[in-house]
């Protein structure tokens, strides 16, 4: 344990009123550090600090907000190495991927700073002028997951600040340390209380959803938790942005160049060891190329180097936590019992750490748990199809609707198929390729609301229409 961590409340480093809990390294199962545990009273204090800061911040100019956010980006960049180290230790991803997460957080912060909230003129006639202004909501509650802990915290916090809100953030108890450091960095340049970070193993997230002093919740995580948040938020009609589970389907059309596509398919399915909401999670391949693509994917999987993300040469880290490892193991074993064939991996590694090798499963059908449920881990089921219409139907037959993709050398045909997929984002010859200027969000049970770009920024505001009579 290298350093002491504290809650960030009102611009101050505060000890947890309920002591500490251990944060484990998923590669070693050793304690990385102890995280402070907040009490309900400390949640109230964080909300009060955010409310006080909001009263001034809502009056700030767009230029001032942009200046502060740009300064946050500078500080993140200065401490990139330290942040990457912490991400590797508590989340488990390889160092190169942790560096990419920090770099992405910096880039997203800068891009969000540049977004504008212009006044829209709805009418300007001889008799009247009607303007629509965008006003901040107040205190935003951010609840973040463990898979991309720094990146997703930035996705929640920075647009909230850009729109003029204050924030109370609760990171996952599995990966809280980098978010606590993010809170420290923000408070070096932002007004005290503008961003508060509190941690707890349980209860605090539910209390935030119910809290009358919080005006909006933005949550990234599982669908059942999102449903609970939505129910609890009814007390004061909180605004919600819910980015929930995904079971993204990809359809490989018969004309696809599988030699050119195999690596991209593998990388987008196993991004962050498959622990990405919009990762490719169900792969539908035409019968004519099924055997060949299954083999190519299995060959790539066997080439990966598993290990501690801090070690040189490692390309594939552990699953983040034991519960997720057990779920992945359970789904693969169920697929085996249903007659599926495992081409690579297929069982957890012996020894310390939550290691599960990249696993390709073939001869599997819809109706199997591994296809129907979100595995959120290093396993890809490959499903054979003969008719494209049937593949589209099966891709859409899932309750989730986050992302999807079509792989083909015929872009026009791929676009026609892509338009029929029931999901918030569709990629052609790629997957999970998100950028700060393109809106991102799901449909069906994958949640609602939009992140990123102008539309994502507007989610942190309400419209105020001003009618000006000239006569």
Name the residues annotated as catalytic.
243, 277
Q: Are 13 and 4 in contact (CB under 8 A)?
A: no
Distant-in-sequence, close-in-space partners of 126: CB < 8 Å, separation ≥ 6: 470
Please count the CA atoms within 13 angstroms of the CA of 102 that sit on its side-chain side. 24
**Angle (CA) 105 9 456, round 5°:** 35
Q: Determine contact, residues 158/140, Cβ cutoff 8 Å.
A: no
Query: Encoding tokens for residue 14?
Result: 């505060």
**3-class secondary structure, 373:** coil
Contact indicator for 445, 244 with CB cutoff of 8 Å: yes
Cα distance between residue 432 and residue 276, in whole Å: 8
Of 90, 112, 93, 110, the residue nearest 101 (C-alpha): 93
Can you tell me the distance from the alpha carbon of 203 to that of 253, in angstroms, rounded to the nearest whole number? Answer: 47
Q: How far apart are CA 36 and CA 13, in angstroms?
A: 11
Structure-token pair, residue 420: 């029929």
* Residue 219 Cα to chain centre, angstroms: 9
Handedness of CA 57, 61, 66, 72 (dihedral sign): negative
- Farthest CA pair distance, the chain: 81
Query: What's the DSSP call for residue 443?
Result: E
Do the beta carbons of residue 293 and residue 252 sit within 8 Å?
A: yes
Identify the burial level of 462 via C-beta atoms within 10 angstroms of its C-beta, where 0-12 means exposed, 13-18 middle and 19 or more buried. middle
- Cα–Cα distance for residue pair 167/194, rounded to 1 Å: 6
Question: Which run of H or E residues covers position 86?
Answer: helix 80-91
Q: What gap in Å lies between CA 452 and CA 458, rounded to an integer?
A: 9
The CA distance from 365 to 15, in Å, is 51
**Cβ pair 454, 440 in contact under 8 A:** no
d(Cα 35, Cα 16) in Å, to the nearest integer? 8
> Exposure pattern of 246-265 as b/e (b: 16+ CB <10 Å)?
bbbbbbbbeebebeebbebb
């Amino acid at each position: 344990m290298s350093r002491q961590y504290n809650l960030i409340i009102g611009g101050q480093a505060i000890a947890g009123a309920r002591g500490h809990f251990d944060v484990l390294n998923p590669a070693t199962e050793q304690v990385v550090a102890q995280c402070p545990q907040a009490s309900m009273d400390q949640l109230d204090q964080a909300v009060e600090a955010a409310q006080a800061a909001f009263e001034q911040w809502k009056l700030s100019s767009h230029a001032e907000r942009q200046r502060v956010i740009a300064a946050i980006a500078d500080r993140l960049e200065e401490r990139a190495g330290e942040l990457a180290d912490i991400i590797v230790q508590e989340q488990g991803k390889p160092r190169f991927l942790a560096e990419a997460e920090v770099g992405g957080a910096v880039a997203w912060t800068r891009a969000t700073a540049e977004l504008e909230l212009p006044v829209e003129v709805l009418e300007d006639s001889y008799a009247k002028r009607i303007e629509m202004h965008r006003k901040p909501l107040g205190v935003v509650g951010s609840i973040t997951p463990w898979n991309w802990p720094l990146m997703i915290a930035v996705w929640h916090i920075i647009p909230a600040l850009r729109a003029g809100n204050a924030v109370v953030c609760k990171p996952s108890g599995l990966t809280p340390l980098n978010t606590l450091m993010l809170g420290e960095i923000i408070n070096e340049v932002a007004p005290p209380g503008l961003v508060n970070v509190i941690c707890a193993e349980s209860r605090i997230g539910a209390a935030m959803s119910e809290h009358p002093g919080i005006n909006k919740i933005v949550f990234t995580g599982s669908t059942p938790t999102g449903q609970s948040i939505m129910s609890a938020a009814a007390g004061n009609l909180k605004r919600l942005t819910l980015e929930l589970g995904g079971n993204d389907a990809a359809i490989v059309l018969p004309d696809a160049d599988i030699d050119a596509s195999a690596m991209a398919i593998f990388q987008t399915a196993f991004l962050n060891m498959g622990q990405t909401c919009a990762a490719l999670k169900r792969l539908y391949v035409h019968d004519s190329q099924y055997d060949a693509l299954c083999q190519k994917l299995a060959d790539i999987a066997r080439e990966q180097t598993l290990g501690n993300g801090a070690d040189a040469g490692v390309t594939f880290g552990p699953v983040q936590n034991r519960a997720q490892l057990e779920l992945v193991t359970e789904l693969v074993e169920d697929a085996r019992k249903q007659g599926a064939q495992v081409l690579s991996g297929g069982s957890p590694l012996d020894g310390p750490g939550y290691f599960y090798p990249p696993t390709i499963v073939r001869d599997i059908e819809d109706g199997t748990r591994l296809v129907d449920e979100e595995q959120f881990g290093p396993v890809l089921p490959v499903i054979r199809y003969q008719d494209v219409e049937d593949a589209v139907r099966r891709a859409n037959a899932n309750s989730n609707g986050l992302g999807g993709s079509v792989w083909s050398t015929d872009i026009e045909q791929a676009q026609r198929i892509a338009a029929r997929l029931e999901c918030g984002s569709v990629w052609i010859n790629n997957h999970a390729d998100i950028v700060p200027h393109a809106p991102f969000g799901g449909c069906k049970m994958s949640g609602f609301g939009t992140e990123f770009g102008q539309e994502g920024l507007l989610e942190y505001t309400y419209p105020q229409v001003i009618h000006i009579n000239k006569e």
